[in-house]
Amino acid sequence: MNTKIFCDIAELDKIKKFNKKKIVKGFTTNPSLMRKAGAKDYKLYSKKILEICKNKPVSFEVFADEYKEMKIQAMKINTWGKNVYVKVPVTNSKGKFMGRIIKELNNQNIKINITAVYNAKQTEKILKLINKKTKVIISIFAGRAGDTGKDPVPEFIKSIKLSKKFKNVEILWASVREPYNYLQAKQLGCHIITVPPVIIEKIENFGKSFDQLTRETVKAFLVDSKKSNFNIY
């Protein structure tokens, strides 16, 4: 499986850097990343991102919590560019399934990235609502599930199996915790994995032998002990 790597970032300088990398096939953002990057005006900042990234898919998330306002935001975000995916949560903050907006946007041929998905039951509910032609990304949050002691892998296996009938649907491994997640995503058959910059750089260095890793680790300990002038005598 050729799993595409998307960069999960909102900082303009890093988007410029990672947009030049062939390994990076797209970008994902969210309101938290935008705030961290210092965005004050959501629309203006998003347009700056799109000025840098003109040809690769970019996901921008709505931040409303109720259907009516969410729909208004989604429609506006969709007009920002042909490479834009409108990111909508699978439920709102109250736990209400956002099926209505998912179905409506999909029927209007708007590319969507459905976020904050955690299990195959949610994937199944989504697939019952969408057509088989307009592009849909389903983002399953592996790392956050793992943080609570839950194994996300069975949910990916079920979700990928359910989506096989939909050539327009891509399953995305979200909330990466380590570079090895990329290999896990590939083995499972995930279409996309969204990765922060620091982990993309580690993925680019894949291929070191265990012997090489041992030497590098021991050297690092040795350097730090010398810098600290440690002495046991």
**Mean per-residue pLDDT for 196-207?**
95
Tally of CB atoms within 10 A around 115: 22
- Location of structure tokens 């620091």: 198
Alpha-carbon span 195 to 176, nearest angstrom? 6
Sorted by where each begins, the domain ranges of the chain are 4-207
Residue written as token pair 């506006």: 76
Q: What is the pLDDT of residues 24-72, one digit of tens each?
A: 999 999 999 999 999 999 999 999 999 999 999 999 999 999 999 999 9
At residue 123, the pLDDT reads: 98
Whole-model pTM?
0.93
Secondary-structure class of domain 4-207 per CATH: alpha beta
Residue 25: other Cβ atoms inside 10 A:
15
CB 88 within 8 A of CB 130: no
SS3 assignment, position 213? helix
DSSP class of 40: S
DSSP per-residue codes, 87-136: EEESB-TT--B-HHHHHHHHHTT--EEEEEE-SHHHHHHHHTT--SSS-E
Q: State how far the Cα of 178 lies from the Cα of 14, in Å rounded to an integer.
A: 19
C-alpha distance from residue 207 to each of 180, 194, 204, 218 (Å): 12, 21, 9, 19
Q: Which of 17-21, 106-110, 229-233 has the lowest mean pLDDT?
A: 229-233
The separation between CA 190 and the C-alpha centre of its own chain, rounded to angstroms, equals 12
pLDDT, tens only, 130-189: 999 999 999 999 999 999 999 999 999 999 999 999 999 999 999 999 999 999 999 999
